[in-house]
Structure formats: structure tokens, C-alpha cells
Amino acid sequence: MTVQDEPANEIVDPVVSESDNEAMPEPGRIFLDANSTTRPYPEVIETVAHHLRFAYANPGSRHAEGRKARRVFEEAREKIADLLGASPSEVIFTSGGTEASNMAIFGFASSVPEVIALTAGEHPATIESCHALVQRGWKLVNMDVDSDGRLLQGQFAALPWDQLKLVTLILAHNETGVIQDTGVLAQHCVQRGVPLHIDAVQAVGKIPINFRELQATSLSLGAHKFHGPRGIGALLLRDGVKLAPLQYGGHQESGRRPGTEMVALAAGMARALEICHDDMNSRIATLQSMRDDLEQRLLATCEPTVINSPAEHRLPNTLNISFPGVDGEAMLVALDLEGIACSLGSTCASGSAEPAPVLMAMGRSEDVYKSAVRFTLSSDNRPEEIPAAARRIAAVVKRLRDIASP
């Protein structure tokens, strides 16, 4: 069998079938659930399909096909490192953000049980990992947030630093979009030699991220949150830091993550991140303008309302808003029937409709956190969708309030 060479000038399209239209949004539907996942950019789909066809070999093999796959894989690593302010040697590919956070938490907690500090309302990937460690004898210390969901900066000196083995922090919250100021906490960790893990799954691709400037020990990300393919993510791990492996069975990723490398997906993730970083300031401004338009329209037509994140220090695409007097679960179903896709509770908690713990940590009352809905936008959305979305949402809120108070 001869080696299939990559045509010099061929642009390889993804496989096209009659069902392709089924993957497109239905006419009239408006997708406002981008923090749960995003649709891969067309260029990303083309990249993945291209490398599945031409870089199909095992990158660990020593033959020509394997070396070609290895080049593609390492070029993806270099591109991701460059865009995120890291060294290529600091990029460990994973199956996604959840695995990356698990790898960091369990890797740093491989010694005799001591203490882990985390923020109230962390993502389930962090919370459930830490609770599993509690079963092994570890103790948890919660760092408090204020009514805006931001870390209280004055509490860091009082943490039990002599017992801490890890501090873990979500950089941009998946439910509220609140962005944390990590500088002071990072300085405490550096001074005391305590690893700091940052969950940046919701932040990467939406706002500028520089791993080196964050002074973190590790950072997790997942491609499908920024229009990349599902099934691929990464853990950035500072050079020279030892991390116990989560899995065994291979030498890949410097022995930290065994298994045959996913070359095409890594290339797709690098391409998605590259697109997000192209003219990022303009993308941020466009998303924020649409989000603010939706917010103002809902404030004007759906009183009473509560915005569950500050105007500043928030992801440009995220609106978490409560409609007191409305049941959040009922609203989610009604909005879906009206062609609006959105979320409540934690999307990654096995379809749970439970209220986001962060809202309770922020001191929100029961009628506020039980009526909270999250609307999140992406570059797939268009400004002309916003008035229609606001009208549908307002109509659903009015109808459900009328039913609740006949």
C-alpha cells in the first residue's frame, strides 16, 4: 500500500451528507446556551476532517506517516502555548476541561491528606473531585465571595497555609460569568510554595489569558467552549512542577496522560483558539453589546428582575438573571417550546436542575436563585436576534407569573 500524500493545494471539505442541514440551528430558534457548548467553526471542522484523512497515523510511530502526525500534533501544541502565554512543554493534552481539572486536583493531592482551599460555588469537576478526596481524609477550606460573587481579598492571610497542599479557583464562573481577580491570591501561593490551579474553561477564547502572568501552577481548558471540537482540552502545567499521573499505561504527554494522541482534535483546538484570538477585542465588544441589549430589554419588560453578576468583571457573553415569582425549571421548558435554548443550574451536573451553588454563596434569597436563568451568547449569534429573544422571554415570564398568581 502506498503512502497517501497530502495534495499541495487541495482544500479538503468535511464529509457532506443530506443530514448536514440537521446540524444547523432550526429556523426561528435562538441558541443562548454557549457556556454549555459552542458549535465548531467551519474552519475547525475542515481542519479536523483534513487531518483525520492525512495525519491518521499514530504519532508515536517512527515511520514517515507517524512522523507526519507527530509534526501536526506538536504544531498544535506550539500554537496553543503561544496564544496562552505558555511554553509548548507546559501543554498537556486531555479529553477536555473536566479531565484537566481532575488531573490537577488528584495529581497535587497524591500525598498524605492535608487541606485544599477552594471557592464557594466551583464547577462540579472541582467540587466532586474535592469531595472524593474528603473520603480519603482530606479537608476542605472554602474561600468566601461577596454579593457579586467576587473573592473577598482580605481572607487570604488567614488561610491555613502551613497545611495547604492546593488552592483551586475558577477564573470565570460558568453560571454567572463573574471573573475573579487572582493576583493577590497567586502571590500568596507563590510566596508559600502552594500550587494554584485555575479552572479557565469558561475564560479561554472569550477573554485574553496569559498563563505566565496569572502565576498559576496549572490551568485547565476545554476546546468545545470556544468553537473547537469536543473530546479535547488541555492542562497547562508550569515547567518543572511534579504531578502524579491520573492514569497509567503509556509514555504519552511525558508520562502524565497515557493513550494514543488525538492529532486531528488537537489541530482543531489550535485552529479554534487561533480564530478566537484574531481580532479578540472586536469579538468581545460585539458579544458584550448583544448581551447588554438583551439585559436592558429584559430589565425594561420583566420587572421584578435581579442580575446575578456585576456590570464589570463579567464575561462579555454571559447574562444570569432571576425572575422572582417564576419557577426556573418551568421557564426553561417554556422557553425551549418558544425556540429559546438556555440553561439553569449547572449544565455539567448530569442534567441537574438544582440551583447554582454560587448564587446561594452570594447570599441570594430562595425566590431569586430558584428563578435564575442563564443566557449566554457566542459569535454564532447576531444582533438582530436579540429583540426577538427578549420578546419571547418577556412573554414567557408574563405567562408563568399569571399562572402562579391567578
Report the distance separating Cα 201 and Cα 139, nearest Å: 25
CB 147 within 8 A of CB 363: yes
The cell numbers describing 88, all together, are 509548548
CA atoms within 13 A on the CB side of 353: 10
Options 189, 276, 342, 348, the catalytic residue: 348
Report the distance separating Cα 220 and Cα 199, nearest Å: 5
Residues 6+ apart with CB under 8 A from 361: 120, 121, 144, 145, 149
Report the distance separating Cα 388 and Cα 394, nearest Å: 10
Give me the residues paired with residue 376 across strands.
Answer: 33, 318
The cell numbers describing 155, all together, are 481572607
Active site residue 348: yes
Report the side by side order of strands in the sheet with 218-222: 91-94, 233-237, 218-222, 196-199, 164-170, 115-119, 139-143
Report the distance separating Cα 406 and Cα 397, nearest Å: 14
Q: DSSP states of 62-103 as a string?
A: -SHHHHHHHHHHHHHHHHHHHHTT--GGGEEEESSHHHHHHH
Report the distance separating Cα 180 and Cα 170, nearest Å: 8
Q: Could you give the C-alpha distances from 329 to 35, 115, 355, 398, in angstroms and in order?
A: 18, 36, 10, 15
Q: Could you give the C-alpha distances from 295 to 218, 223, 277, 289, 362, in angstroms and in order?
A: 34, 27, 26, 10, 20
CB 306 within 8 A of CB 147: no
**Residues labelled catalytic:** 348
